[in-house]
């Protein structure tokens, strides 16, 4: 067993983990769809359904979804190829927040 005083974690505000390089998530990329405005549930749903339809058609042809790392930080979002580590796309925070730069 362990001996000695218990180790306590420093308090965290929850956003500090997004500082610097940010948080990395493992994901599968089904597609990218450019939209005229970044608002509205219907527009978002229509775009998602379009991408899902394209993914199903690709699956029927034997194509697989691309495995990626999604890195989310306070400066923006970055999509990297899982096998090669090459950056596929970068979305800066000022683009994601309607022109408000951090």
pLDDT at 49 (0 to 100): 93
> In the chain, where are the structural domains located?
22-30+40-92
pLDDT at 53 (0 to 100): 92
Architecture of domain 22-30+40-92: Roll (2.30)
| Separation CA 102–CA 95 (nearest Å) | 11
Rounded to two decimals, the pTM is 0.61
Residues of the chain with pLDDT under 70: 1-15, 38, 94-102
pLDDT at 32 (0 to 100): 84
pLDDT at 1 (0 to 100): 45
pLDDT at 68 (0 to 100): 92
């Amino acid at each position: 067993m362990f001996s000695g005083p218990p180790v306590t974690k420093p308090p965290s505000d929850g956003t500090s983990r997004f500082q610097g390089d940010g948080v990395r998530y493992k994901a599968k990329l089904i597609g990218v769809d450019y939209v005229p405005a970044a608002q509205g549930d219907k527009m978002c749903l229509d775009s998602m359904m379009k991408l899902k339809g394209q993914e199903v058609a690709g699956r029927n042809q034997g194509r697989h979804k691309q495995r990626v790392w999604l890195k989310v930080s306070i400066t923006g979002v970055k999509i990297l190829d899982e096998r090669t580590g090459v950056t596929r796309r970068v979305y800066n925070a000022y683009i994601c927040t309607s022109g408000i730069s951090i």
